């Protein structure tokens, strides 16, 4: 998979999956514009400091990005530890606002790749809430949205990923993207050894995280996830649109087998 001549915008570039995605994209010949609220400790292409948790932060990032980008990788995310409103703001509203703001700067037949999670597994079960929030336009007030939809600090992370999975499906058919042939897909990792996993242990509990890891034998690494994100950015995925790729060692299959009594 070669990415020569392509320019990728990658959020969450200072750590974990975003950092590995940027490293691999550079190795495959891409130009990278990395975004994070924290400066990476090593240079990884061009870097733009920015905060995805507010409308102003997103507007600043959009204004600084040139026309003609090939793909946007929405990797940045928070664990839920900072509360429901902040988690919704970063994982959903900031991600959507950035994607919609950059749509005019994405080339024809470009790509958006969202990093969701196996934590969003319950989206079908909770479809009314996920649909209502995924359909909200602009950058909604995250405090209001959390209150209106019963999103608590405890469930904010899984709910944010449920909404993101639903928005990925909707966005593939949203005229803003579809009119330019921009594909919108997601990758859902299982537990991956990065700094956020330590926070998941605090928010979700060790037994949940260890239970998920034992279902598949080992935790993932950022290097397991990065190639799949870049595949979805590449022309090799030119007919893949509005879908989610589970990248979890078989965790989703294991849950499906249990839930569907296979």
Ligand X SMILES: NC(=O)c1ccc[n+]([C@@H]2O[C@H](COP(=O)([O-])OP(=O)(O)OC[C@H]3O[C@@H](n4cnc5c(N)ncnc54)[C@H](O)[C@@H]3O)[C@@H](O)[C@H]2O)c1
- The sign of the CA dihedral 101, 159, 171, 223 is positive
Q: Please, which residues have CB within 8 angstroms of residue 187's CB and are 6 or more apart in sequence?
A: 113, 114, 115, 116, 225, 228, 229, 232, 244, 245, 247
256: its two tokens: 């499906």
Which of 10/111 has CB closer to ligand X?
10
Which of 173/205 has CB closer to ligand X?
205
CA–CA separation, 79 and 158 (whole Å)? 9
Nearest distance from residue 148's CB to ligand X, in Å? 22
Nearest distance from residue 199's CB to ligand X, in Å? 7
What are the counts of helices (DSSP H) followed by strands (DSSP E) for the chain? 12, 7
Establish how many alpha carbons lie within 13 A of residue 186's alpha carbon, considering only the half-sphere containing its beta carbon. 29
Which of 12/140 has CB closer to ligand X?
12
145: its two tokens: 């949205």
**Is residue 114 within 8 Å of residue 74, measured between CB atoms?**
yes
Nearest distance from residue 256's CB to ligand X, in Å? 17
DSSP letter (8 states) at residue 192: B
The contact set with ligand X (CB under 6 A) reads 11-12, 14-18, 36-38, 51-53, 75-78, 90, 115, 117, 189, 191-192, 194-197
Which of 11/234 has CB closer to ligand X?
11
Catalytic positions are 157
Nearest distance from residue 65's CB to ligand X, in Å? 14
């Amino acid at each position: 998979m070669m990415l020569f001549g392509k320019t990728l915008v990658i959020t969450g570039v200072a750590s974990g999956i975003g950092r590995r995605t940027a490293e691999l994209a550079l190795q495959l010949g891409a130009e990278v514009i990395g975004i994070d609220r924290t400066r990476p400790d090593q240079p990884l292409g061009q870097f733009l400091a920015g905060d995805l948790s507010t409308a102003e932060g997103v507007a600043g990032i959009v204004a600084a990005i040139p026309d003609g980008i090939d793909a946007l990788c929405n990797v940045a995310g928070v664990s839920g530890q900072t509360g429901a409103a902040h988690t919704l703001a970063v994982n959903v509203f900031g991600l959507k606002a950035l994607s919609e703001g950059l749509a005019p700067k994405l080339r024809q037949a470009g790509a958006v790749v969202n990093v969701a999670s196996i934590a969003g597994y319950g989206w079908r079960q909770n479809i009314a809430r996920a649909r209502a929030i995924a359909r909200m336009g602009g950058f909604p007030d995250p405090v209001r949205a959390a209150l209106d939809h019963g999103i608590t600090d405890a469930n904010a992370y899984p709910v944010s990923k449920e909404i993101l999975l639903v928005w990925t499906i909707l966005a593939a058919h949203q005229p803003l993207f579809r009119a330019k042939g921009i594909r919108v897909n997601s990758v859902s990792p299982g537990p991956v050894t990065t700094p956020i996993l330590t926070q998941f242990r605090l928010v979700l509990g060790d037994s949940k995280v260890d239970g998920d890891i034992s279902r598949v034998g080992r935790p993932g690494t950022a290097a397991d996830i990065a190639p799949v994100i870049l595949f979805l950015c590449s022309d090799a995925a030119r007919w893949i649109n509005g879908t989610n790729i589970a990248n979890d060692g078989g965790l989703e299959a294991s849950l499906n087998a249990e839930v569907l009594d296979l």
